[in-house]
Structure 1
Amino acid sequence: MSDIAKAAGITRQALYLHFPTRAELLVAATRHIDSVKDVDARLANSRAATSGRERLVAFISAWGGYIPEIHGMSVALRAMRDSDAEAAAAWDDRMQAVRHGCAAAVQALAADKVLREDLNEEAATDLLWTLLSVENWEHLVRDCGWSQLDYESQITGLAEAALLATA
């Protein structure tokens, strides 16, 4: 908090007036990044989709394309989360927002009656949320050398195969 206050040109006490805990500061920082990078505009196609499949594809594109832009923050928060409850809270806050998007896509699939019959909405949300994890993006793009385009294409195909009922 001292380093942040110094960089902002304010006292540590002034910083604590706005953010009583580091967790609140970290959550605010991640939400600020979402605002600056206009996450709502990125999600507009998903939210406006007229079918469950369209919503699924648009959400994967929006989130998958956003991961590279927030990767640095995600690395920092994940590195701290085991020893820092506030960093863990900030990371969990952001991942719950992603989970909410996954749930919305799954609900749209269920409403269209194209969700696999053997999956309930909670299990389908779990699968999609796990498939779209930052860690999976890291393994495929960073470790395996996939292009961003290949990542998004393959993850979309996997999600469709995992969630959609076969015709």
Structure 2
Amino acid sequence: MKSIDAPQNARSQRTRDALLAATREILESDGFEALSMAAVADRAGVTRRAVYLHFTSRADLVNALFTYLSQQEGLAESMSRVWEAPDSVAALRAWVAHLADYHPRLMAVDRAIERVRLGDADAQRHRDRVNEAQISGCRRVVEWLHRDGRLAEGWTVEDAADFLFGLICTELFDRWMQMRHLSARDVERNLWAICRVVLVPE
């Protein structure tokens, strides 16, 4: 039997999601500089009071953005294909496929954050959280390669993880996809060629 609070909770979750969707839209269209509680309220079509019922501050709002974007873009499902791979090289291949598919969908938000992060504590905290999640995933893939004896000679786990982390670069994707007009499939092919030759040569 559903709780009597379920409809209210469902409405509350819809409002929260609408606020986070509005936050994403503002970042993508107007930049981080335009992000304020009032702007989010206007974009979501709610009162400013409604925003504060869900988020105590802009910092709180931005802190919730990482989880929201991950859920909206299917991060857990995408990464599950990496962790369920039959071996470490297949996991690296799946990680490359994940990166080529997932990262381009978040590049507009990434650009907005990157432009201001050095002067905006909220943006920097978001960037730190993203970086932590990314480097953790990279390290996990590389540790698997190392355990399987597939990591190329001369690499430490930490250095190889940093190498993979460096490939999660919006500027790199911009150059390939915006300047050179490569497709996501082309990007995946290029990334895998790099990783295969550098990290797991036969």
Equivalence for 2:128: 92
Tell me, yes or no, if structure 1 residue 146 matches structure 2 residue 172. no
- After superposition, residues 44-63 of structure 1 pair within 5 angstroms as 44-63=80-99
What SS is found at the alignment partner of 1:82?
Answer: helix
Q: After TM superposition, give the deviation of residue 82 of structure 1 in Å.
A: 2.6
Match of 2:162 among 112, 126, 141: 126
Output the CA distance in 2 between the equivalents of 1:14 and 1:24.
14
Match of 1:43 among 73, 79, 83: 79
TM-score (norm 1): 0.88
Give the letter for the 2:162 counterpart. Answer: D
What SS is found at the alignment partner of 1:116?
Answer: coil
Tell me, yes or no, if structure 1 residue 101 matches structure 2 residue 137. yes
State which drifts further: 47-56 or 11-20.
Answer: 11-20
Q: After TM superposition, give the deviation of residue 8 of structure 1 in Å.
A: 3.9
Q: After TM superposition, give the deviation of residue 91 of structure 1 in Å.
A: 2.0
Q: Is the alpha carbon distance of 1:54 and 1:7 closer, same or farther for their aligned partners in structure 2, counting shifts above 3 Å? A: same
**Residues 43 and 62 in structure 1, CA contact (< 8 A), matched pair in contact too:** yes
Equivalence for 1:70: 106
Q: After TM superposition, give the deviation of residue 161 of structure 1 in Å.
A: 1.5
What SS is found at the alignment partner of 1:115?
Answer: coil
CA offsets 1:83-102 (integer angstroms, 9 cap, x no match):
21211211221122122111
Output the CA distance in 1 between the equivalents of 2:63 and 2:90.
30
Q: After TM superposition, give the deviation of residue 9 of structure 1 in Å.
A: 5.0
Output the CA distance in 2 between the equivalents of 1:30 and 1:134.
17
**Residues 23 and 90 in structure 1, CA contact (< 8 A), matched pair in contact too:** no
Give the letter for the 2:143 counterpart. Answer: Q
Q: Give the number of the structure whose alpha-carbon radius of gyration is greater.
A: 2
- Cα-Cα RMSD: 1.9
Equivalence for 1:158: 194
Equivalence for 1:29: 65
Q: After TM superposition, give the deviation of residue 40 of structure 1 in Å.
A: 1.1
Output the CA distance in 2 between the equivalents of 1:121 and 1:11.
50
Larger RCO (CA within 8 A; separation ≥ 6): 1
Q: After TM superposition, give the deviation of residue 21 of structure 1 in Å.
A: 3.9
Give the letter for the 1:86 counterpart. Answer: D
Output the CA distance in 1 between the equivalents of 2:128 and 2:47.
28
Structure 1: stretches of 5+ with no match in the other structure: none
What SS is found at the alignment partner of 1:45?
Answer: helix
Q: How many residues align?
A: 166
- Sequence identity (%): 27
